[in-house]
Amino acid sequence: MPDPVPDPAAVARLRATRGFVLDMDGTLVLGDRQNRGLRALPGAVGFVELLAARGTPFCVFTNGTVKTPPECAHALQEAGLPVPDDAVLTPAVAAADVLRRRGHRRVMVLGGKGITAPLEAAGLETVPPLRGTSADAVLAGWYRDELTFASLEAACAAVSAGARFYSASPSPYFATAEGRTLGSSRVISAVVRDLTGARVTVVGKPALPALRAAARHLGVPPAELAVVGDDPTLEVPMAHRGRALAVAVRTGLGDADAFRDVPADRRPHLDVADVGALAALLAG
């Protein structure tokens, strides 16, 4: 299927965009199932270089929580992408804002340092998922190898006792060089919701707290941002919720048919092969 002809109005809006929120896995890079060995995708280095040359603010927002934001930035740098040390955000950053605003202080974390470090830096207490441990909130993120029946039981007990439940991501899969890989946040959330009936509050993409965190970081209103990503269920819906420019790339989970059955007003404003093609549109 040939690439769609870009809408001139969307291209004009792209060139007027004041900041970019970029997905990581499947958009800029691909790694293995453990999020290691990142390699830049076609056009990614040139696109980031173009943004830097134009002086256009950008950040990378990944729903992955295996690494801290600075660790993600360093991994991108090792893959050849000129990303500043402070340019990466994760659901843990958005979670810290949400949890503090809602008055939570003690958070049970099903995840590692990628979640606990940002929460603790924000002044929140984190506790592991151990039986008998109390908490105001439970947050599930990257927790694959460590996940046990006992940790699920502890999370369910805390929620049943009144803790609010939060998830880093609703995605069943994420893109890797080895193909799509099951997302642990979704798996944990499904178990806790099924057993406790709890509402799952997502703090990463596509939830608005994620976009608002990126907007604050960049100092640009959400409506003046472009959101770029490969997952049809994440970046494009989030962009529409915040009235941002929605850009889909096909280097990860999405393909040319990803939005075929989606209402016209929920489709991406721009649908391109990769960020290299996006750079060409931006450069004019």
Residue 74: pLDDT over 50 = yes
* pLDDT at residue 1, as a whole number: 47
Secondary structure of residue 280 in the 3-state scheme: helix
Find residue 202's DSSP bridge partners. Answer: 167
* pLDDT at residue 34, as a whole number: 63
> Is the pTM higher than 0.75?
yes
Q: Are residues 61 and 124 in the same domain?
A: no
Task: Mark residue 82 as left, alpha or beta (left: phi above 0; alpha: psi -120 to 50; beta: remaining).
Answer: beta
The total number of structural domains in the chain stands at 2
Q: Are residues 124 and 66 in the same domain?
A: no
Q: Are residues 246 and 188 in the same domain?
A: no
Backbone torsions φ then ψ of 173, nearest 5 degrees:
-140, 160
Q: What angle do CA 49, 50, 51 make, to 5 degrees?
A: 90
Residue 33: pLDDT over 70 = no
* pLDDT at residue 5, as a whole number: 79
* pLDDT at residue 178, as a whole number: 78
Residue 2: pLDDT over 70 = no
Q: Are residues 69 and 39 in the same domain?
A: yes
Q: What is the pLDDT of residues 228-276, one digit of tens each?
A: 999 999 999 999 999 999 999 999 888 888 788 888 888 999 999 999 9
Q: What angle do CA 32, 128, 112 make, to 5 degrees?
A: 25
Q: How far apart are CA 270 and CA 272, in angstroms?
A: 6
Q: Which two tokens stand for residue 244?
A: 């941002």
Q: Are residues 186 and 97 in the same domain?
A: yes
Q: How far apart are CA 118 and CA 116, in angstroms?
A: 6
Residue 135: pLDDT over 60 = yes
* pLDDT at residue 35, as a whole number: 65
Domain boundary (171, 202, 233) is at 202
Residue 16 CB partners (closer than 8 Å, separation 6+):
none
Domain of residue 81 covers: 8-90+206-283
Q: Are residues 81 and 106 in the same domain?
A: no
Q: How far apart are CA 167 and CA 194, in angstroms?
A: 14
Domain boundary (176, 202, 228) is at 202
* pLDDT at residue 179, as a whole number: 80
Mean pLDDT of the chain: 94
Domain boundary (141, 171, 202) is at 202
Q: What is the pLDDT of residues 78-125, one digit of tens each?
A: 999 999 999 999 999 999 999 999 999 999 999 999 999 999 999 999
Tally of helices (H runs) and strands (E runs) in the chain:
10, 15
Q: How far apart are CA 245 and CA 117, in angstroms?
A: 31
Q: Which two tokens stand for residue 195?
A: 């057993």
